[in-house]
Amino acid sequence: MKALVAYYSETGNTEKLARAIYEGIEAAKKEILPINGVKNVEGYDIIFCGFPIQSHSLPVKVEVFLKSIPAGQKLAFFATHGSYRGGEFAIQAFHYALSLTPKHTVLGSFGCRGRVIKSRIDALMDQAEHRAWAIEAQSANGHPNEADFEEAKVWARAMLAKAYRH
């Protein structure tokens, strides 16, 4: 089993989650790389792709990366976001990621909250399109935390087991 953990992270939250996932999986070969460091997406049994949710969606670099992955690839998405887990904003972004990978096997997704710096929240409060998630994001401080990392590891092992079965 050859696994890649590819991530995009601006303030470090998603990178921390990526490292936990990488530590948590046992595979004959495993690699962890920021998406701009991935030279070749071929030859992996599973690609974990991680991103911060931005504007209810994916950062453009992540869109470009997902579109570069050949059809048939097994994928698992993970994300950090300021808004609530399982909330509408997080769900929208995962839906969008799915819409970009219609010919792939998406084995599952994991999302947890990620701290948003206060100056950022304050700036967003004045923008109508961001206000709703910025209000939710005020309680994301301290995340991702150890409990998030443990949960992500359990999830990642389940994704790997699923990839073996497929």
Ligand X SMILES: Cc1cc2nc3c(=O)[nH]c(=O)nc-3n(C[C@H](O)[C@H](O)[C@H](O)COP(=O)(O)O)c2cc1C
* Residue 82 touching ligand X (CB under 6 A): yes
Q: What's the 3-state SS for 18-53?
A: HHHHHHHCCCCEEEEEEHHHCCCCCCCCEEEEEEEC
Compute the least distance from the CB of residue 96 to ligand X, in Å.
11
Sequence-separated (6 or more) residues with CB below 8 Å from residue 66: 49, 58, 97, 100, 101
Residue 3 or 35: the one with the smaller Cβ distance to ligand X is 35
* Residue 81 touching ligand X (CB under 6 A): yes
Instruction: Report whether 128 contacts 95 (CB < 8 A).
Output: no
| Count of residues interacting with ligand X (CB under 6 A) | 22
Instruction: Report whether 61 contacts 49 (CB < 8 A).
Output: no
| Phi and psi, residue 141, nearest 5° | -55, 145
Residue 3 or 137: the one with the smaller Cβ distance to ligand X is 137
* Residue 54 touching ligand X (CB under 6 A): yes
Residue 83 or 109: the one with the smaller Cβ distance to ligand X is 83
Where residue 81 falls (left for φ over 0; alpha for ψ -120 to 50; beta otherwise) is: beta
Q: Which of residues 83-142 bind ligand X (CB under 6 A)?
A: 83, 89, 114, 116, 120, 133, 137
Binding string, residues 2-21; x marks residues near ligand X by CB under 6 A: -------xxxxxxx------
Instruction: Report whether 30 contacts 159 (CB < 8 A).
Output: no
Sequence-separated (6 or more) residues with CB below 8 Å from residue 86: 111
The SS3 assignment for 77 reads strand
Q: Which residue is nearest to ligand X (CB)?
A: 114
Residue 97 or 116: the one with the smaller Cβ distance to ligand X is 116
Applying CB under 6 A, which of residues 2, 37, 55, 88 lies at the interface with ligand X?
Answer: 55
Q: Which of residues 22-51 bind ligand X (CB under 6 A)?
A: none
Would you tell me which residues interact with ligand X (CB under 6 A)? Answer: 9-15, 52-56, 80-83, 89, 114, 116, 120, 133, 137
